[in-house]
Amino acid sequence: MKSTVERLSPTRVRINVEVPFDELKPDFDRAYRKIAQQVRIPGFRPGKAPARILEARLGRGVVLDEVVNAAIPAKYSEAVTSADEVNPIGRPDIEVTEIADGDHLAFTAEVDVRPEISLPDLDGITVTVDDVEVDEAAVKEELDNLRGRFGTLSGVERPAGDDDFVLLDLSATVDGEPVEEASTSGFSYQVGQGGLIDGLDEAVRGLSAGESATFTSQLVAGEFAGKDAEITAAVTAVKERELPEADDEFAQLASEFDTLDELTDDLRTRLGQVRRMEQVTQARDKVLEALVDATDVPLPESVVTAEVESRVHDAVHAFDHDDDRFTQFLDAQGKSREEFDADVRTEAERNVKTRLVLDALAEQEQVSVNDQELTERIIYQAQQYQMPPEEFVRRIQEAGQLGAVYSDVRRSKALIAAVAAATVTDESGGPVDLSDLIGSADESDESDESDAEQADAEQVDTEGASEADAAAVETAEESADADQTADDAAGTDGAGATEAEAPVQPEGGRAASDA
């Protein structure tokens, strides 16, 4: 087989391949066996008809189609493997250019490839993160949260105010038509917490048991997503939460400590740990941003397009892929479809650029991923999707995404190397040493769990944790959410990986016939 590579642009190549028919003999043998099993020819048992009889009965073209369609993917992969510095990151566009029967097969494959990227010196990157500060107000808030876990609710005969709990019966209509999925009864809600239905807090604040209010709000999901609904909230009970006194007796009830001072000191220590985790998150985000901003990266158009299409698909999916309803929703948010598409394009380009930079960094730092690291990432993602690890592995294998998970881990380790090499200072101007928290890209204990979760796992025995421990863990998990946001910005969600990380599968299905 002969192959040559033409560079069409910094991100795209054309591979020209010519395969002698002598190399296709195994493919012809397989084609004859396959066709023989599929046709019935009088006088021959299934699968036993000779090649010349099959060609006489079906025509040479049928055999050639089967041979070419089966051979092209393998020959394409062979050509890519033999080519120097060609790293495909998308599906190839394959065209059969010549079938000289008995002599050779020729085809071309155009495919996007990883561009050559010149990275800045990592030790030249300087970022500033917040100081580690734990003020007494934060400690008091944590103590109050812990007291809230032991609080009791009691009914009151007065209008509901902020922080009160109300039992609600909710119903909704759109143009007079009831919306079943937006209706519920006996729903417990804390006034002032927000995040449920826009306008709900204003509607129930000041209502007593037995009173109701109707207000207009926009539905964000379901059949009527994006439409205004008339929502009625009926209060059936108002309850206030009574907190236990913050004293030594409470400390003994809620923790392993004997005094309130000991409990408070422990909460202060744990908050300091959380603030350090927040420094890690900040440093990682800022180093990544600085690294990407300082790097010139030509973007493969097909990869960007795939990213855009994936994001648009996910956005419209909530509206049952009804573009008109989605456009109405955007209009209600004060954004046009054109503005949405432009924003998605910008985000897609940034994400693709980030992934390419991290991949180039991983190559430069010679980052590798071992079996333990890959297994840890798979187990963590399976937990995120609330699936057994075995089922999660089966699904990502069927979807061809195992390689994407590997890439995720590799990028995470590359980013750790960048943070370790960068200069990180706090707002006070002092150097920040994060080595005890982020480890290094060479360590084998890296997992997708955020640094906040890892640190608390070392400090807390979650099986026998006290309520004080649980409160600290909960705070750390909030930091972990921010940590996950950084992963998302780096494109490190294996289950959502785009075609850039998907295994390359040439689409040669109708190549011979098209030729």
Which has the minimum average pLDDT: 37-51, 139-153, 174-188, 257-271? 37-51
Average pLDDT over residues 424-436: 89
Q: What is the rounded average pLDDT of the residues 282-292?
A: 96
pLDDT cut 70: percent of the chain above it: 83
d(CA 128, CA 100): 65
For residue 45, pLDDT over 60 is answered with yes
Rounded to the nearest 5°, which phi and psi values hold at 362? -60, -40
| Confidence band for 293, pLDDT divided at 50, 70 and 90 | very high
Tokens representing 226 are: 């994006």
Assess whether pLDDT exceeds 50 at residue 466. no
Model confidence at 47, in pLDDT bands (50, 70, 90)?
Answer: low
Residue 222 zone, left/alpha/beta (φ > 0; ψ -120 to 50; rest): left
**pTM for the predicted model, two decimal places:** 0.68
Q: How far apart are CA 452 and CA 383, in angstroms?
A: 17
pLDDT at 463 over 70: no
| pLDDT at position 484 over 70 | no
- Of 298, 356, 320, the C-alpha closest to 89 is 356
Residue 494 · residue 395 · CB < 8 Å: no
Residue extent(s) of CATH 3.10.50.40 domains in the chain: 152-242
Model confidence at 440, in pLDDT bands (50, 70, 90)? low
Confidence at residue 486, expressed as pLDDT on a 0 to 100 scale: 36
**501-510 mean pLDDT:** 34
- For residue 442, what pLDDT is reported? 52
With 90 as the cut, is the pLDDT of residue 144 above it?
yes
Query: What b/e sequence results for 60-85 when a residue is b if at least 16 CB atoms lie within 10 Å of its CB, and e otherwise?
Result: eebbbbbbbbbbbbebbeebbeebee
Architecture of domain 152-242: Roll (3.10)
Return the CATH architecture of domain 122-132+252-496.
Answer: Orthogonal Bundle (1.10)
Give the SS3 label for residue 39.
coil
Residue 379 has pLDDT above 90, yes or no: yes
> Rounded distance, CA 275 to CA 110, Å?
50
CATH 3.30.70.1050 domain locations along the chain: 2-113
pLDDT band at 221; cut points 50, 70, 90? confident
Q: How far apart are CA 235 and CA 37, in angstroms?
A: 71
Place of tokens 């924003």: 343
Residue 290: other Cβ atoms inside 10 A: 17
**Cβ-contact 304, 505 below 8 angstroms:** no
Element (H, E) at 274: helix 260-293
The three state secondary structure string of 98-166 is EEECCCEEEEEEEEEECCCCCCCCHHHCEEEECCCCCCHHHHHHHHHHHHHHCCEEEECCCCCCCCCEE
User: In what helix (H) or strand (E) does residue 9 lie, and over which residues does it extend?
Assistant: strand 2-9
Contacts of 492 (CB under 8 A, 6+ apart): 408, 411, 412, 448
Mind listing the pLDDT tens digit for each residue in 58-103? 777 787 888 888 899 999 999 999 887 788 988 899 999 998 888 8
Segments of the chain assigned to CATH 1.10.3120.10: 122-132+252-496
Strand partners of residue 251? none
Pairing of strands 104-112, 177-178: unpaired
More confident: 479 or 298: 298
Q: How many Cβ atoms are within 10 Å of 94's Cβ, its own excluded?
A: 21
Please choose, from the candidates 373, 351, 356, the residue with its C-alpha nearest in 3D space to the C-alpha of residue 440. 373
Q: From CA 357, how far away is CA 355, in angstroms rounded?
A: 5
Mean pLDDT, range 126-145, rounded to an integer: 93
Share of the chain above pLDDT 90, in %: 57
Q: Which of 252, 260, 297, 226 is nearest to 500 (CA)?
A: 297
Per DSSP, the three-state class of 239 is: strand
- Rounded distance between C-alpha atoms, residue 280 and residue 389, angstroms: 28
Question: How far separated are the first and last CA of the chain, in Å rounded?
Answer: 20
Q: Report CA-CA distances (Å) from 479 to 271, 277, 410, 452.
A: 11, 7, 23, 6
pLDDT of 141 reads: 93
Average pLDDT of the chain to the nearest whole number: 82
9 vs 319, more confident: 9
Name the architecture of domain 2-113.
2-Layer Sandwich (3.30)
- The answer to whether 146 and 472 are in contact (CB under 8 A) is no
228 vs 444 pLDDT, higher one = 228
Q: How confident is the model over 157-212, as pLDDT tens digits?
A: 999 999 899 999 999 999 888 988 888 999 999 999 887 888 999 999 999 999 99
Residue-wise pLDDT for 336-372, tens only, equals: 999 999 999 999 999 999 999 999 999 999 999 999 9
Q: How confident is the model at residue 324 (pLDDT cuts 50, 70, 90)?
A: confident
